[in-house]
Structure 1
Amino acid sequence: MAMNASTDKIRDHFERWYSALRRYHGIPAKGTLAGALVVLNRLKTKCELNIEAHTAKGKSQIVGASGAAVRKILVEFNETRPLLVEGGRTNRGLRGDIASLLAALKKAELCKELPQNRVRAIEQMQAFLVKQIQDIHARSRIEIDFDPSSTSQQFVKTVLSAAHELGKHGPVSEYLVGAKLQLRFPMHTIENKISSAADQPRGRSGDFQIGDTVFHVTVAPGPLVYEKCRTNISNGLRVYLLVPEVTAVGAKQNADQIAEGKIAVISIEAFVSQNIDELGQFDSKLEKHEIARLLFLYNQRVDQVEHDKSLLIKIPAVLDNS
C-alpha cells in the first residue's frame, strides 16, 4: 500500500491492524473486509473514530454495512464481482474488528490530516482492502480430471472426491445439485443461496423445492435432516434425501425408520449424473457437452452468491470447448 511520507504513520498503523486480524482458511473474515470498506468510506466526510458512531441501534451491527453499499465501493475500484450477500452485517466479530481499526487510526492521528490528505489516505487503505478481496477471488479453483471412457456417474464421483480432499464436498454437493436441477428444469426458477445458509431461519422447507417435492442435500445425514424430512411429509410434501454414495445404504435404513417408503434416498452421484445421460441422449459426444453445461451452470451459481471463490471448478480443457 503506497502512501506519501506524510501518511507513513497511517499506513503503518493500518497494516498492523490488518496483520493482526483473525484468519479463516488463511484470509480475514469477508465481513470484516466489507465492513472496513464501508466505515472507511464514511470517514472521508466525517472523521469520527468512536465505534459508537458507527454502530447500529442494536449495538451489534455496523451502520450501512450492507451488500449494496459494499458493491458500490468495489465498483469504484473497478471490482464488479460480489464479495458476499450480506456485506459485513452478519459477521459476529465485525464490531470488535472495526473498533480496533478505529483505535489504530486514532493512534495514527488520521483526523488531524487535512481533508484532502485524509481522503487520499483512506482511498489507499480501501485500495489495499480491495486487493485482498481480489486475491480471494483469484484463489485456486478445484481441479478435476475428465476421462471420456468413464461413466457420467463416475465423473460426478471424481468431482466430489476432489472436493472432499479440500474439505469442500458439502457446498460443492449442494451447488452441483442446484446446477443439475437448473439444467434439467430450465423453465423453473431454482433457488440459489450461499451454501452455508440454514433452511429454517429463511422459512425454507429444504435446500431446493420444485412443485410439491423438496430436496435435502447433505454429506453427513444426521438426526436434524431426518427431522426436517418428517416435517416435510407432515406438511404434505414429497421428499428426496441426496447423500454421498458411501452413505446411501445407511441413510435409506434410517429414512425407513422415520417414514418407510416416503423418503426417496438417492446418492448425489446418481442423482446428478442421471439427467446428463438422458439429456445427452446416451451419446458420448452429447453427454460430454452436457457435462460441460453442468459445470458452467455450477460455476455460474457459485460465482453469483458465494464469497469463497475457491469453490469454483476449473473446467478441463477437453470440456471447455464442448
Structure 2
Amino acid sequence: MESENKYLQAFKEWYDSLKVVKANKGPANGTLAASLVVLDRLKANYSLDLSEQVAPRGTQIKGASGGKVAEILKSFGELRPFSKEGGRTNRGGLSEVKSMLDALGEMELDRLSIEERNSSLHAFQSFIVDRIKDYHNRQKIKFSFDPKLTTWQMIAQLLETAKEEGKAGPVAQHLVGAKLQLRFPDIAIQNESAFTADQQTKRQGDFFVGNTVFHVTVAPMQGVFQKCQENLADGLKVYLLVPDSKLAGARQVAEEFAGKQIAVESLESFISQNLEEASVFTADRLAAKLSALLQIYNLRVDDVETDKSLMIELPSNLT
C-alpha cells in the first residue's frame, strides 16, 4: 500500500506539471484522454517507448478515439461525454504523453509483477477520471440581471465574465447563434461546437442566414478578414462580430481588406439589439426576452459542447 501511494504521488506530480488551460482550470482535455488510452494499453504491453504509442505517421496517439475514451470512462462509472477526438488531434498531446512515459520510467514499475503494475496503472487512470469528473462538475457562467442597466451593458458584463474564465470565444459564438435563433425562429440556425474549425465542416462562416454570412471572433486576426474576402467574392454579404473593445481596429482592417463591404459590429450591440424593442422597453418583458435568449443559448451549448460549464446560470430574478 505504501509503495502504491508513492507511485500515485509521483503520477500526481506529473499531472501537476502539465500546462493549465485557463478555460478548463486544468490540463487540455485531449491530454487527459490520450493519457487514459496509453495507460490502458500499457496494461497489456508495458512499453515506455513513445514510438509504440503513436500511429504510423508519428503525429497522433495510436488507438485514441472518442469511443475508446468513452469505453474507459464507462468502466470507471463515468458516462458523460468528454472528448470526441479522444486526444487524437491534441497538438500538445505527444509531448505530454512522452513526459508521462518518462515519469513512469522513473517509477521503475517494470520491476513489479504484472498484477502489481496494472494495479498502479489502474490507480493512475482512476486519478485522471476523477479530474475529468471535476471538469464536468465545474460551475456554470454567472449572469446578473439588473434592470437598471441597459441590455448592452448586461451582455458586455456577461462577455467579460466569460473572458475572465477563458471562455470568451465559445460564449460569444453561442450567444450570437442564440440571438439569431430567437430573432428568426422559423429558420434553422446552424449549431457547431466552438472548437470545430471551418475547414472541418466546409462552412463559410459561423452562421449563414439568407445570403449573409456571420463571422464571430473575440480576437480578429488576418485569417478572418481573408475569409470575409472569400465570402464577398462568392457574392455574399458579410458580418464580422467582435468585442466592442476591438471594434475600431477591426473596422479599420476590414476597410483595408475590402473597402466598406464588410459590416463590422460589436458583439454587445448585435446580441442586445432588438431585445429592448421587442420587450416594448418594459423591465418585465425584457427579463422574459433575456431569459428566452439564455435558455436557447444553454440548449445550443448542451447539444454540441462537451464542456457544460459553458452554460449560463440564470439568476432567480430572470427565471
Normalising TM by the smaller chain, what interval? Answer: 0.7 to 0.9
| Alignment of 1:104 onto 2:103 | yes
Equivalent positions of 1:217-296 (< 5 A) are 217-248=216-247, 251-252=250-251, 254-260=253-259, 262-277=261-276, 280=279, 284-296=283-295
How far residue 147 of structure 1 moved from its aligned partner, in angstroms, is: 0.8
How far residue 313 of structure 1 moved from its aligned partner, in angstroms, is: 3.0
Structure 2 partner of 1:50: 49
Give the partner amino acid of 1:86.
E
Give the partner amino acid of 1:10.
Y
Structure 2 partner of 1:299: 298
Return closer, same or farther for 1:74/1:291 CA change in 2, 3 Å cut-off: farther
How far residue 63 of structure 1 moved from its aligned partner, in angstroms, is: 0.8
How far residue 216 of structure 1 moved from its aligned partner, in angstroms, is: 0.9
Q: CA RMSD in A?
A: 3.1
Listed one character per residue, the Cα deviations across residues 168-203 of structure 1 (whole Å, up to 9, x for unaligned) are 4333222211222233345414222224x4434653
105-114 vs 231-240, which deviates more? Answer: 105-114
Structure 2 partner of 1:14: 11
Helix, strand or coil at the partner of 1:24: coil
Whether the aligned pair in 1 keeps the contact of 2:136 and 2:309 (CA below 8 Å) is yes
102-111 vs 215-224, which deviates more? Answer: 102-111
How far residue 238 of structure 1 moved from its aligned partner, in angstroms, is: 1.6
Give distance in 1, aligned partners of 2:261 and 2:9. 62
Give the partner amino acid of 2:243.
P
Give the partner amino acid of 2:13.
R
Structure 2 partner of 1:147: 146
TM-score by length of 1: 0.82
Give distance in 2, aligned partners of 1:279 and 1:111. 68
Give the partner amino acid of 1:82.
P
Listed one character per residue, the Cα deviations across residues 10-58 of structure 1 (whole Å, up to 9, x for unaligned) are 3244233223333333522322211111111223333333322221001
Give the partner amino acid of 1:17.
W
Give distance in 1, aligned partners of 2:165 and 2:7. 38
Return closer, same or farther for 1:244/1:104 CA change in 2, 3 Å cut-off: closer
Return closer, same or farther for 1:256/1:65 CA change in 2, 3 Å cut-off: same
How far residue 131 of structure 1 moved from its aligned partner, in angstroms, is: 1.3
Return closer, same or farther for 1:12/1:165 CA change in 2, 3 Å cut-off: closer
Equivalent positions of 1:84-103 (< 5 A) are 84-103=83-102
Instruction: Count how many residue pairs are aligned between Structure 1 and Structure 2.
Output: 316
Give the partner amino acid of 1:85.
K
Listed one character per residue, the Cα deviations across residues 75-113 of structure 1 (whole Å, up to 9, x for unaligned) are 333333333332212223322322332333344444554
Return closer, same or farther for 1:101/1:211 CA change in 2, 3 Å cut-off: same
Give distance in 2, aligned partners of 1:64 and 1:226. 37
Listed one character per residue, the Cα deviations across residues 257-301 of structure 1 (whole Å, up to 9, x for unaligned) are 544553233321222123534665665434322312322333344
| Alignment of 1:134 onto 2:145 | no
Whether the aligned pair in 1 keeps the contact of 2:180 and 2:189 (CA below 8 Å) is no
TM-score by length of 2: 0.83
Return closer, same or farther for 1:128/1:203 CA change in 2, 3 Å cut-off: same
Unaligned segments of structure 1, at least 5 residues: none
Helix, strand or coil at the partner of 1:204: coil
181-190 vs 274-283, which deviates more? Answer: 274-283
Listed one character per residue, the Cα deviations across residues 149-179 of structure 1 (whole Å, up to 9, x for unaligned) are 4333332122123334455433322221122
Structure 1 partner of 2:191: 191
Return closer, same or farther for 1:92/1:161 CA change in 2, 3 Å cut-off: closer
Whether the aligned pair in 1 keeps the contact of 2:173 and 2:194 (CA below 8 Å) is no
How far residue 306 of structure 1 moved from its aligned partner, in angstroms, is: 4.7
Structure 2 partner of 1:74: 73
Listed one character per residue, the Cα deviations across residues 108-153 of structure 1 (whole Å, up to 9, x for unaligned) are 4445545554443333211110111222333444333211243333
Unaligned segments of structure 2, at least 5 residues: none
Structure 2 partner of 1:64: 63
Give the partner amino acid of 1:231.
E
Whether the aligned pair in 2 keeps the contact of 1:77 and 1:127 (CA below 8 Å) is yes
Whether the aligned pair in 2 keeps the contact of 1:239 and 1:264 (CA below 8 Å) is yes
Give distance in 2, aligned partners of 1:150 and 1:246. 19
Picking from 13, 21, 24, the partner of 2:21 is 24
Give the partner amino acid of 2:227.
K
